[in-house]
Every structure is written in structure tokens, then in C-alpha cells.
Structure 1
Amino acid sequence: MFTHAIKLFTLNKFDIKVDPSWLIIAALVTWSLSRDFFPDALPGQAQITYLTMAVIAMMGLFVSLLLHELAHSVVARHLGVPINGITLFLFGGVAEMDAEPTAAKDELLIAVAGPLMSLCLAIGFWALSLMAGAGNLVATIPEVLSYLALINLILALFNMVPAFPLDGGRVLRAYLWHRTGNMLEATKTASRSGTFFAYFLMALGLMALFHGALAAGLWQLMIGAFVLIAARASYTSQLAQVAFDDKTVGSLMVRHPVTVGPDITLDYLINQIMLGRGVSFVPVTEGSVLLGHIDRSIVAGIDRENWASTRVGDVFVGLEDGVMIGPDTGVQDLLQIVSATGQRKFLVVSGHQLEGVITLSDLTQHLRAAGAA
């Protein structure tokens, strides 16, 4: 998910990583705190004091987000849900689960752990701010602690909004899952709540922009867009798990695909085969022997005026392990290969014999049919 995340350290066997996008929020929040929030809360201080307060507050926010995600991760691991690590990114943090919880109760416990941690942190920082104020310490200390209490309270409340994939949306999914026994339908309904909430946030952002609140408006639009994308992606991921569960490549592949020999021209290939048959990925065979494949991207790299004089045998791609896959391969395993390599089209081969072809488009069509069912 976060291909450019940088590992910082390992804590309690969890890899703690930071996506480069986190630097954006860190810089923006530090700037906002030092220029507006702390000068308003504690006027009359030097700018270096405000900057120091902002940096310390940002570090406290970092720790708070990390503890929020650690709470999710510790509970998940205790319940048997594997966790790859924790990554902080532009909009907060995420505990990277290898699998979904297998029971609604587990989902509920994992979901509420984060907001409860944030609420405990809010109470703790608030108590510390009162003690620091009563102890006649430097005025900057209570202000920083008060900010951290406020931001953790906001994190707890915002995350409990019943909009998937926020924690409150996961609580909603757990309830629906427990009531109906159908995790996919529960995810679908919870994802809709996330979609509605996302549009609501973006509407608020547009209103803020019209009233001249540029920073607040853009921020609400960005968060709304993120929630919208994440909600849809979460449902699609769950749908894929259900639709492809226990299915093999052989059950979804295109059997007896159109093939071409090495002697035909590219002109014939394009006009009669690819356009005529509506395919873009064609195995190359000679008799019963599989030689390789050719697709539209290969032809696109050759000047059109040379198509009539260029034969498939001159440009096709030979047999490569990255393009060949066995019919008994699980579809979930195939999706991991697609994600890891970017390869979208495959020859299905058994004992050096062509069994069929399968493409990401085939899987997408099957997924759409499952979603419509």
C-alpha cells in the first residue's frame, strides 16, 4: 500500500514506518501552530518560542498517532489477526493487517481500541496540563499539553464517526456483520456510510472555500477525497476476497483462446485478430507448440507503415516465467503477482501446453458480476 514508506524502528515486533507524505502534514501543522495557534493562545512570546512549542507539539502528535495505531495492532495480534506494521502517512496512520478479522466481535474490539487510546491520552494530557499550570511552570508547557489533549480528543471523536473505513465505520460494520452474519453486505453498507460522509466533508470544504477559508476548505476536501477512495477500495477488497475465495486460475481463464502463428503479418494480426476478435493479448503457437505471446503494446512500438512487412515471428515475446502461470494457481495468489510485478496478462500453461489465457480484465469482469449479484 505504501511503497515509499521508510522504516524508522521496530517496536514490540511491529515495524514502524513513515510515508513521505507525513512530512507534508508535519510541516503544515508545525507552521500553523507556530504562526496562529500558539500566538493566539499565549501572546507576547518570541517567534522562536512559538516554533519550539510547535515542534514539541508535532512530536507529541506523532507519538499520539503511533499509540492510537499500536492499540489497534496489539489487540489485533492478540486476537490472531496478523499485522505487518504501522505506517504514518498524510492523513494519520494505519495498522497494516494481512487479513480481516474472522468474527464480528474481533472487529469491534480492534476498532474501538484506537479511539479509546486517544481518549485516554486526551484525559492524560489534560490532567498534566492542569498539574503544570498549578505548579507555576513555564506557561508554554501547559499550552502544549492542552493542545495535545485537544487534538487527541478530536482524533477520538472523529475516528468514531460511523463512516467506513474510520474506526466508527468498522464498529458499524461489526454490528451489521453480527446482526446479519454477512460480512460482505455489512462492508457494503458501512462503505456507503463512508461515501456519504466523504461527500459531506467535501461539501463543507467547498463552502469553506467560498467563504475564504482556503486552508480549512482544502483540508476538508482532501480528507473527504481520501475517505471516499478508501471506502470504495475497502469494499472492493472485501468483494474480491469473497468472489475469488478458493477459486483457481483454471476456473476463470479463457479456454481455447485465439492464437496466431509466427508467419502472419502485424497488419493481419491487428485488423483480423485483435480488432476483429476484440482481443489485445494473443498466444503465439506453431502447431501445438507454444512459442510465446504478442500484445497490442508490442505492435504500438512499430511504425504503422511497417506492419504489412513485419511478421509476428520477428517481434513476439518468447516464453517467460513472469507471463506463464499454472491453472491450479489460486486467484488470490495471481492478484498478488499482479500487484508485485505489474503484469496484467498471463498464459495459462500446464506441462508446456497452452490451457488458456487470463487477464486482469477477466478478473475485473468477474468481480463486477459478483458485486451485481
Structure 2
Amino acid sequence: MFKNAFNLIEVFGFKIRVDPSWFLIAALMVWSLTITYFPETLPEQSRLDYFALSIAATIGAFVSLLIHELSHSLVARTYNINVTNITLFIFGGVAELEKEVTTPAAEFWIAIVGPVSSFILAGLFYTLGHINISLNASDPLIELLKYLTFINLVIAVFNLVPAFPLDGGRILRSLLWKRSGNYIGATYVASLAGQVFSVFLIITGMLAIFTGFGSGGLWQVLIGFFIFMASRSSYAQVLMREALKEKTISNLMSQVIHTADVADTIDALVEDVILRYGVSFVPVTEGDMLLGYIDKNVIHKIDTDNWATSKVGDVYITSTPQNTVSSATSLPELIDIMSKENQRKMLVSDNGILLGVITLADMMDYVSLRNKLVMH
């Protein structure tokens, strides 16, 4: 999902990752707190004090967000659902579940524990703030604790909005799923609620921009678009999983494939395969054995002057479980692998022998055609 994210630390066995987009929101938070928030709540301090306080507040906010996501992950683990990564990015944080939940109860408890943990943190910072007031502690420390109380309340309340994929939307889906027994129908309603809420955010954000609240309104519009796209894609993925649950890779993979040999030059590969057949993903073989693949991204890294002398065998990407699956793999399992590894195309191989290639487009085309036939 976040192919540019890097590992930061590991907590309770969960890898904490940071997407480069996080640095943008972190910088914006520090800037906003330094220029506006703390000068208004804590006058007559130096600019350096405001800057240091803003860094502490930003770190505290993201640690709070990390605790929110860790709570999701720990409860998911009790339901035997592994969390591959927890990633911080421009719109907050996300715990990446290895597979979908299988019961309404699991959905409910995994979702609700996040807001509960944020309310607990808000209560903790509120209590610490009042203790420090009674001890006549420094004003900057008290204001920092007030801010962390406020930000945790915002995280908790916002996530409880019944709009998928927010925690509140997942809670709504679990309740509808429990009542009706219809997972797809429950997802549709929760996704629709997410889209309605996102449109509300976008419209009110646009109004804020036009009435002079530019930065806040713009941020609201961006969040609205993110929720809209996430809610739609989540429902589409559920439909895809349902349509493909009885199928295996062998049903949909492309068996007519064009391959490259390790001895081929890049120049020959481009002219004889890629341009001739209009493909951008080419399996690499040696005899009958699959070795890996080469694609346009690999070729782009090679200077065109060296195409005539560069061999496929020197630059191809080796076949691994991250890019190669067996023909017996179920399609829902394949979707999970593609999502986890950020792959759109996969090699299909049994016992080292190349059988075919399957792409995300193959599955989407099948689902689209199936839905059209069912509708008619």
C-alpha cells in the first residue's frame, strides 16, 4: 500500500513505518502551532520556545495516533488476524491487516478499541494537566498537556463518525452485518455513509476556502477526497473478493505469454517482445525453468546506449514468493498478496515451471463482465 514507506521501529512485534508524505503534515503542524496556536494560547514567549513546544506537541500527537493504531493491532491479534505494518502517512495512521475480519464481533472490537484508547489518552493528559496546575508547573507544560488532551479528543470523535473506512464506519458495518448476516450489504451501507460524509467535508471545506479559512478548508477538502476514494475502493474490493472466492488463478491467468531468455540483449527484448506484442511485463526463463521477470521499470534504468550489450540475465528481477504464486492459489489470497507487496502483476509457477501471468486487470475485467451479465 505504501511502497515508499520505510521502517522506523518495531513495537510488540508490529513494524512501525513512515511514509514520506508524513513529513509534510508534520512540518505543517509544527509551522501552524508555532505561528498561530501557541502564540494565541501562550503569549509573551520567545519564538524559539514556541518552536520547541510545537515539536513536542507534534511528536505527542503522532505518538498518540500510533497508540490508537497499536490498540487496533493488538485486538486484531487476539482474533488471529496479523497486522503486517502500522504506517504513518499524510492523513494519519493505518494498521494494515493481513486479511479481512470474518465475524461481526471481530470487526466491532477491532474498530472500537481505537477511539476508546484515544479517549483514555485524552483523560490521562487532562488529569496530568490539572495535576500540574495544582503544582504551579510552568505554563508551557500545561498548555502542551491541554493541546494533547484536545488532539486526542479530536482523533476519538472524528474516528467515531459512522463513515467507512473510519472506525465508526467499521462499527456501523459490524452492527449491520450482525443484524442482517449480509456482509456485502452491510459494507455497501457503510461505504455509502462514507461517501456522503466525504461529500459533506468537501462542500463545507470549499465554503471555508471561499470565506477566508483557506488552509483549514483545503485540508478538509483533501481529507474528504481521501475518504471518498477509500470508501468506494473498499466496497469494490469486497465485491471483487465475493466474485472471485470460488476461483483459482488457473481460471483467469494468461497462458499465452511471451518470455525472454537470459542470453537475450535488452535491445532484442524491446524490439522482438515488448514493442512487437505490446507488453511491459516479461517472464525470464532458462529452458523450461522460470527465473524471474523484467519490466519497463527495469529497462528505464538502463541507458539506451547500453541496450545492445546489456543482457537480460544481468538485470532481471528474481522470482520470489513476493512476485510468484502457484496455480492453486485462491484469488482472494492473491489479492491479499498483491496488496501487501504492492504488485499488479504476478508470475504463476508450479515446481519452478512457468505456467502463466495473472494481473490485477485480468481480475477486474472478469468481475466487471460477471457483474454486467448478472445485472442483465
Provide the TM-score with structure 1 as the length reference. Answer: 0.77
The CA deviation at 1:217 is 1.3
SS at match of 1:2: coil
What residue is the counterpart of 1:13 in the other structure? 13
What residue is the counterpart of 1:89 in the other structure? 89
What residue is the counterpart of 2:47 in the other structure? 47
What residue is the counterpart of 1:163 in the other structure? 163
What residue is the counterpart of 1:152 in the other structure? 152
Aligned 1:140-289 pairs, distance under 5 A = 140-252=140-252
Deviates most, 102-111 or 238-247 = 238-247
CA distance in 2 between partners of 1:341 and 1:156 (Å): 30
**More contact order relative to length (CA 8 Å, sep ≥ 6):** 2
SS at match of 1:153: helix
Correspondence 1:107 to 2:100 = no
SS at match of 1:164: coil
Any idea what the Cα deviations from partners look like across 1:178-214, whole Å, max 9, x if unmatched? 0111212211211111111111111111111111211
CA distance in 1 between partners of 2:332 and 2:220 (Å): 35
CA distance in 2 between partners of 1:351 and 1:133 (Å): 69
The CA deviation at 1:249 is 2.6
What residue is the counterpart of 1:269 in the other structure? none
SS at match of 1:93: strand
CA distance in 2 between partners of 1:85 and 1:350 (Å): 31
Q: 1:118 to 1:321 in 2, by over 3 A?
A: closer
CA distance in 2 between partners of 1:352 and 1:5 (Å): 33
Any idea what the Cα deviations from partners look like across 1:76-100, whole Å, max 9, x if unmatched? 1112211112111111111110011
CA distance in 2 between partners of 1:3 and 1:258 (Å): 27
CA distance in 2 between partners of 1:186 and 1:235 (Å): 10
Q: What are the ranges of 5 or more consecutive residues in structure 1 without an aligned counterpart? A: 260-272, 284-289, 291-296, 298-319
What residue is the counterpart of 1:59 in the other structure? 59
CA distance in 1 between partners of 2:357 and 2:143 (Å): 64
CA distance in 2 between partners of 1:9 and 1:280 (Å): 39
Q: 1:326 to 1:20 in 2, by over 3 A?
A: closer
The CA deviation at 1:237 is 2.2
C-alpha contact (below 8 Å) 1:69/1:94 kept by paired residues: yes
CA distance in 2 between partners of 1:187 and 1:98 (Å): 19
C-alpha contact (below 8 Å) 1:324/1:347 kept by paired residues: yes
Deviates most, 100-109 or 325-334 = 325-334
What residue is the counterpart of 1:34 in the other structure? 34
What residue is the counterpart of 1:307 in the other structure? none
SS at match of 1:86: strand
CA distance in 2 between partners of 1:25 and 1:197 (Å): 22
C-alpha contact (below 8 Å) 1:337/1:343 kept by paired residues: no
The CA deviation at 1:367 is 2.0
What residue is the counterpart of 1:79 in the other structure? 79
Any idea what the Cα deviations from partners look like across 1:237-281, whole Å, max 9, x if unmatched? 2222222224113333578x799xxxxxxxxxxxxx99xxxx989
Deviates most, 223-232 or 358-367 = 358-367
Which letter maps to 1:361? A
CA distance in 2 between partners of 1:370 and 1:32 (Å): 50
Q: Which runs of 4+ in 1 moved over 4 A?
A: 320-327, 333-354, 356-359, 369-373
The CA deviation at 1:330 is 2.9
The CA deviation at 1:128 is 1.1
C-alpha contact (below 8 Å) 1:163/1:191 kept by paired residues: yes
Q: 1:324 to 1:152 in 2, by over 3 A?
A: closer
SS at match of 1:55: helix
Deviates most, 360-369 or 207-216 = 360-369
Q: 1:45 to 1:101 in 2, by over 3 A?
A: same
CA distance in 1 between partners of 2:3 and 2:367 (Å): 25
Any idea what the Cα deviations from partners look like across 1:283-339, whole Å, max 9, x if unmatched? 9xxxxxx9xxxxxx9xxxxxxxxxxxxxxxxxxxxxx97999865443345546766
Which letter maps to 1:196? V
Count of residues in Structure 1 that have an aligned counterpart in Structure 2? 334
What residue is the counterpart of 2:308 in the other structure? none
Aligned 1:333-372 pairs, distance under 5 A = 334-335=334-335, 340=341, 342=343, 344=345, 359-369=359-369
Q: 1:50 to 1:71 in 2, by over 3 A?
A: same
Any idea what the Cα deviations from partners look like across 1:105-148, whole Å, max 9, x if unmatched? 11101111000010111111111111111211111111110010
- Please, what is the CA RMSD of the aligned residues? 3.8
Q: 1:249 to 1:131 in 2, by over 3 A?
A: same
Which letter maps to 1:250? S
SS at match of 1:137: coil
Q: 1:176 to 1:43 in 2, by over 3 A?
A: same
Q: What are the ranges of 5 or more consecutive residues in structure 2 without an aligned counterpart? A: 259-275, 283-287, 289-295, 297-317
C-alpha contact (below 8 Å) 2:69/2:86 kept by paired residues: yes
C-alpha contact (below 8 Å) 1:348/1:358 kept by paired residues: no
CA distance in 1 between partners of 2:12 and 2:179 (Å): 35
CA distance in 2 between partners of 1:46 and 1:351 (Å): 67
C-alpha contact (below 8 Å) 1:65/1:93 kept by paired residues: yes
